[in-house]
Structure 1
């Protein structure tokens, strides 16, 4: 929450659309841990000459006043910066995707029970977030993406999923290993949540997909 609040105070947040697991957790109550912040970097309406290089340089200078910068890179599709606070044992990675065309965004309040700060953010609409999570799960086969998909299904989010893609998702779920459940997923969940997924797999998500 501190990082989001500083993005707002530094006037960087108006170009960013919040997405990913951290957005689902801070804005919609996703009950798993997420250590990175994902954003989509947008041009403002009618703007054709936005210099993302200068913007990113300003962002790096801004963060250097508050945190140690462990890494910063302007990649082909993304801007990446990794921050380390002396008050935290972990570093925090911010990833901002460039060149994304987005016709619609939503607004939500990001909050945490561990902080009194609330930040009003622009977010990816949940149906688009679901589509993005499907693509991510099929590409990298990470169990956290399947968990996020089931969370969105429980929230009543609908996405246009073809029968072929539905079969691909089910195949990817079936290929998840015991280590995926016992190590990767359990490290993201509270202790009382872990037995359910060990026993039930992704029953609700699979039912939604028609199996």
Structure 2
């Protein structure tokens, strides 16, 4: 029997954030059933990652997302919408409970097709959500690492490379990256967010990727 996520997390603050994420995801899918989940928390909850992630990231093109409907749904669960900013292309919001606060980002301009995946909740239950395919997540994370050089993105690239069906085009991008990979600017931070298993070094992650894509 698998140990519930809340019992695998090392920090109380992470458990509280995870519980708030669960409530927020439930509410968002009740309002917009076709919204597509992506980003680090998607990898963690829906693709078996062992790295804690705070933010909720979604794609929702072609639908009208109103602040009032989200605020009302959150308040009905005892939660608060403490920030909401909407542009033509993006929604940025913050959702809080008495114990925690999370960031929500919704891309309104890019149309994405999602795959139905089980989302692991903190208490051990699962719910079905629409997720960006692992192959697209892999390319997003590779681009994110090249742009901002955060070690968590490289960790996610390694994790996704094991489960994604990587085709020639994507493999070529990874091989090109491996020719001159930049070092992360925050390598020491990885041990604070990988809550289970070994915490790989930058060199170990590159070795793993080269072993697969050389």
Question: TM-score band (shorter)?
Answer: 0.7 to 0.9
Which of 198, 201, 206 is the aligned partner of 1:202?
206
Query: Is 1:74 matched with 2:78?
Result: no
Deviation at residue 201 of structure 1 after TM alignment: 4.0
Kindly report the root-mean-square deviation, in angstroms, between the aligned alpha carbons of the 2 structures.
2.4
- The answer on whether the counterparts of 1:85 and 1:91 sit within 8 Å (CA) in structure 2 is yes
For this pair of structures, how many residues does the alignment match?
191
Query: Is 1:186 matched with 2:182?
Result: no
C-alpha distance in 2 between matches for 1:193 and 1:37 = 25
Deviation at residue 76 of structure 1 after TM alignment: 4.5
- Give the structure-2-normalised TM-score: 0.77
Which of 172, 177, 182 is the aligned partner of 1:168?
177
Matched residue SS, 1:29 = coil
- Give the structure-1-normalised TM-score: 0.78
1:164/1:20 CA distance change after superposition, 3 Å: closer
Structure-to-structure mapping, 1:75-154, within 5 angstroms: 75-86=87-98, 88=99, 90-102=100-112, 104-112=113-121, 114-154=122-162
Q: Which moved more, 1:76-85 or 1:196-205?
A: 196-205
Deviation at residue 192 of structure 1 after TM alignment: 4.9
The aligned counterpart of 2:16 is: none
- The answer on whether the counterparts of 2:155 and 2:205 sit within 8 Å (CA) in structure 1 is no
Deviation at residue 33 of structure 1 after TM alignment: 0.3
Unmatched segments (≥5 aa) in structure 1: 44-49
Matched residue SS, 2:91 = strand
Matched residue SS, 2:170 = coil
- The answer on whether the counterparts of 2:60 and 2:110 sit within 8 Å (CA) in structure 1 is yes
Matched residue SS, 2:198 = helix
- The answer on whether the counterparts of 2:115 and 2:131 sit within 8 Å (CA) in structure 1 is yes
Unmatched segments (≥5 aa) in structure 2: 1-21
Q: Deviations over 1:25-71 (max 9, x none)?
A: 1112101100111111133xxxxxx434xx33321332234312232
- The answer on whether the counterparts of 1:5 and 1:117 sit within 8 Å (CA) in structure 2 is no
C-alpha distance in 1 between matches for 2:158 and 2:180 = 15
1:3/1:76 CA distance change after superposition, 3 Å: same
1:56/1:169 CA distance change after superposition, 3 Å: farther
- The answer on whether the counterparts of 1:38 and 1:96 sit within 8 Å (CA) in structure 2 is yes
Q: Deviations over 1:134-154 (max 9, x none)?
A: 221112221111110100112
